[in-house]
Structure 1
Amino acid sequence: MTGIQGFVQRSGQVLSRCRGLAAGVAASLALSGCGVANHMIYKTTGDVMEGFARKHTVPYVLESSDLAMSCAMSEATSPLLMSFGRVTTNPDQLAVMLYLTAGGCMDEQAREFELDSLMAMRALEAEVAEDAMIQKKRAYALAAQRYFQAWKHHNTFYGNPDESECPDFDTDMDEFIYMAGLLSGLQALNAEIQSTSAIGVPKNVGSIVSRATSCLNNDKWWGAPMALRATVWAMIPGALPQGENAFERLAAADLQGEEAGVRLSHVFHALAAMNKGDDEMLRGVIRQHADSIKATPSNEEWRMVDAMATQLIVAISDRMWVENTGHRTPLGKLGSFWDEEPEAAEVMSLDDLL
């Protein structure tokens, strides 16, 4: 009996261990199944959100002129949308717009720090001026990193412009984002130079972008591709092709942009004039922009692009005003300058009242 009882007891222990093992295996399989299910849910969610953002959010934002709202959105949502690249296809095309816009946020901050520095220098506050310049360089360094991210995502999605043929664009939005990616490359290089840091932006980005603009329809995009190309010609020694005139091309692009209500070419023209050191030309471009936005409303589909152009023109004007007067461009005075004769006030004849 004792032997039988021992056998039964041992058998019960074995069965108990087997049941425990089976339960563990079952739980493991169940958890594994949950993991697979969760992965599929995450993937589907990521695909839906990326598709919605590309087809609806980006066009919606482009129709808005509220740059601050666009800036806040890109900085707040970029980590969320880009994190779905861990469970599904990386949203490279969407990332171009997200990082380009987020880079613009820091670019704007850097310009504000520069104005602070200029004001402090006029007030002979050397330490305040130096601190503002340090903050400016830090902001430009972060801007360069963001722009460079946009450029890398652009190259991943469309192919490196220096190594591949022009892509086939399925939609106008595909072509626009391609142009935005080219702009991000130039912005990355410019911000890196302004930051005096080494971010790793290739120094031949300008020439690469210049060649890649030939993939874009110049008439469709308000003359901006030619303006971008002509700016590179004007700013990089030896880049100007024989028989071309960069500033004539920029002037022609300006007219296209003004007619379309998307005046991005004015920004390129102003940058080229600044690089040349031509103050009269720079003032002329600013006046032209100010007159144009009064005469022609922004294109409804591309309000944000036109608003961005105006913001950059105002920033250039503000820098000129601060350097010479200690304050920014007065409200309603874009296109006018501190050293110009004020318009003669209208004088009412008292004789007419008698």
Structure 2
Amino acid sequence: MTDSLTHSLERSLVWPRLKGWGAALMAGVLLSGCGAVNNMLYKTTGDVMQGFSRDHTVPYLLESSDLAMGCAMSEATAPLLMSFGRVTSEPDQLAVMLYLSAGGCAEEKAREFELDGLAAMHAMNANEAEDALIRQKRAYALASERYFKGWKHHNAYYGAPGTGECPDFSDDKDEFIYMAGLLSGLQALNAQIQSTSSIGVPANVGSIVARATECLENEKWWGAPMALRATVWAMIPGAEPEGENAFERLDIADEQGEAAGVRLPHVFHAIAAINKGDQDLVKQVIREHARSLEQTPANADWRFVDAMATNMIVAISDRLWVENTGHRTPLGQLGSFWDDQPEEVETMNLDDLL
């Protein structure tokens, strides 16, 4: 009887432990299964989001001319969309567009701070001018970091640019994103210089970008590849090939951009003229841009790019106006300047009629 009681007691002690172990084992299996299902769900969602964004969101945005909306979208959605790189392939192509746009947001703020500083200087307010300059440099540093991320993702997807080998583009969107990545690299370097701080952008990015534009069809992309290349020639001493003239190339690119309704070459031309210190040429480019806006509507497929070009031309015009008058370009007067001579009005001598 004692043996029977002992055996029953041992069973009563062991069985709950076995049940506990079994429950733990079953829970582990179920939880691991849920984890696998979740990972598969996340991966599928990530792949769908990447594909949808590339094939629909980006084209939809490019057909819009609302720069502020595009800016808000890129800053708000970049963390979400980029986080899918943790569960599926890294969204490198999408990252190029997101960080180029987000970098533009930061650069826009930097330009606003610059105008605030120039206005303060014009008003002889030294403290306000210095504070605006500090904010300007901080914003340019952020812009450079964002542009540089876009450049890195560009290189991860397409390979190191400027090596002499061009990618095999699958479609026009693929080729456009390649060009956007080149622009992101150039902007990263420019913003780093403006910030007067070291973000880590290599100093030879400009020459790399210039070589890589050879992979793009110039006429197909509104003269922008040649304009970008010529701007690098104009800005880097010794970069211009023998027999070439950067500003003649920029004139040709301007005409191509105007005809296509995508006036991005005007921006490169103005930047090259600013670097040269030729204010008359800068004004001329701005006037041409304003005239073209009246004569040629924006390309319906690339309204966003054309609007971006106009926004940058307005920013350049505003800088000139604030430096010289203390205020920005008057509304509706892009292409005119504070020192323009009034047009001569023909007058009739009434004495001849008497």
1:14-163 equivalent positions in 2, closer than 5 A? 14-163=14-163
Aligned to 2:337: 337
1:199 corresponding residue in structure 2: 199
CA distance in 2, matches of 1:276, 1:139: 25
Q: Which residue of 2 aligns with 1:297?
A: 297
Q: Return the TM-score normalized by structure 1.
A: 0.97
Partner of 2:351: none
Aligned equivalents of 2:240, 2:48: Cα separation in 1: 45
Runs of 4+ in 1 over 3 A off after TM superposition: 343-348
For 1:164 and 1:344, the matched residues in 2 are separated by: 56
Q: How does 1:209-220 map to 2 (within 5 A)?
A: 209-220=209-220
Q: 1:102, CA displacement in angstroms?
A: 0.2
The residue aligned with 1:262 is 262
How far apart, CA to CA, are the structure 2 residues paired with 1:345 and 1:199?
55
Secondary structure (helix, strand or coil) at the match of 1:168 reads coil
Q: Which amino acid aligns with 2:57?
A: T
What residue ranges of structure 1 are gaps of 5+ in the alignment? 349-354
Who is 2:173 aligned against? Answer: 173
1:7-54: CA deviations, max 9, x gaps? 111022112211110110000110110000000000000100110000
Identity fraction in percent: 71
Deviation, 1:279, is 1.3
* Displacement after TM superposition at 1:258 (Å): 0.2
CA distance in 2, matches of 1:338, 1:92: 46
How many corresponding residue pairs?
A: 350
Distance in 2 between the 1:229 and 1:24 partners?
Answer: 65
Cα shift at 1:163: 4.2
TM-score (norm 2): 0.97
Q: CA deviation at 1:343?
A: 3.8
Q: Distance in 2 between matches of 1:163 and 1:324?
A: 45
1:225 aligns with 2:225: yes
SS of residue in 2 equivalent to 1:332: coil
Tell me the SS of whatever aligns to 1:240.
Answer: coil
Q: Does 1:188 align with 2:188?
A: yes
